[in-house]
Structure 1
């Protein structure tokens, strides 16, 4: 059984939560009723400093998933050991489970990742619900898989121009980035979801689904083939505008590595 030690709460970034929540058919708040630590031979690929637990829990609130989740669930989870190498106490703790069902085994869940059992807090509940709500909208930004093309059109005066960058997505829905430069002004950039570039389009706010798709999905450099048909000066301008977009997006920070 788990030793009586406290379980540290990791500081999940938006990307940490989105990675797990968007991939999970089931998001469930549960109360742990029992844990058993597996022996080392029963826990292949276990990260150093972790224990693998067989967990039994009572289902409390279904945030996402089918309505037929049984009242009692079982699953395996990897948890970090404390400084003394002991397993933290989980019994009677409220946890958020991001998981998938196992066919033919009612009540048995498989976590999206071994660490996708999270200690439940009001803040975590709010953040995950916001991600899932945005993720199921019809116009939700799809995963970005690459860049198809880019072009730059210089303006009539030095320092003026516009770059457009067209992205490839998992479901083939179009996403394009526009960057507008004017002398003496900061560059303005925006993202359009759709075939037509909307004049009302804006740059995404940080820690939103669109920001996550771009910051975590765009390559670090504009691929050479995306500007292969451009004149050298225009290709260089497009690369500079793309670098500016990446800078404005900021890093896709992940604080919690998958066990």
Structure 2
């Protein structure tokens, strides 16, 4: 299975490929934007990333990918990207939140910054219903500093434990794809309390795998272009 992972930023802040270990039957190719923001921390950054994401989706159509991940929790251009291709296109937030509802009744999301809380809350409302969201918490770290894994891990564990004890979360979602280097360490602590921790990139890869195995993709009735458009898939 061949999956294109689009990191919707330019290189410069998170230059290392933030992909977690994957099963051997999954082949991943990572690509970054040639234009756009170096990190996505607000709606303005998200909007600046969309043209580059759509360019990469269009360029990939003849390359035989089985699916595409727009690998940012804010999911820039996700719905528009589905209009440009027939293969599954998924985002980490939708994938993680959907998965969380199969693991427990309520989940908490932990973001780099609390300024993203309204966006995460809106995603939860749209994808699974607001009643499933226990809380949105944050570690208050710039994306550019997420490479400090010791500090990040400590902050995530603190917020995850508070989400469980204070917010009564059944599941914890890491709310940034740049946090994947900490998943194992955070999960080792939090899962001891019976609470699963979801890596959003792995959730997205899993969502594509499920769609490919089931032989389905997004509906062209939901993500449609006029048939006379030359840029339609």
**TM-score (normalised: structure 2):** 0.27
- Normalized per residue, the structure richer in helix is 2
Q: Which has the higher contact order (CA 8 A, sep 6+)?
A: 2
**TM-score (normalised: structure 1):** 0.25
Q: Greater CA radius of gyration, 1 or 2? A: 1
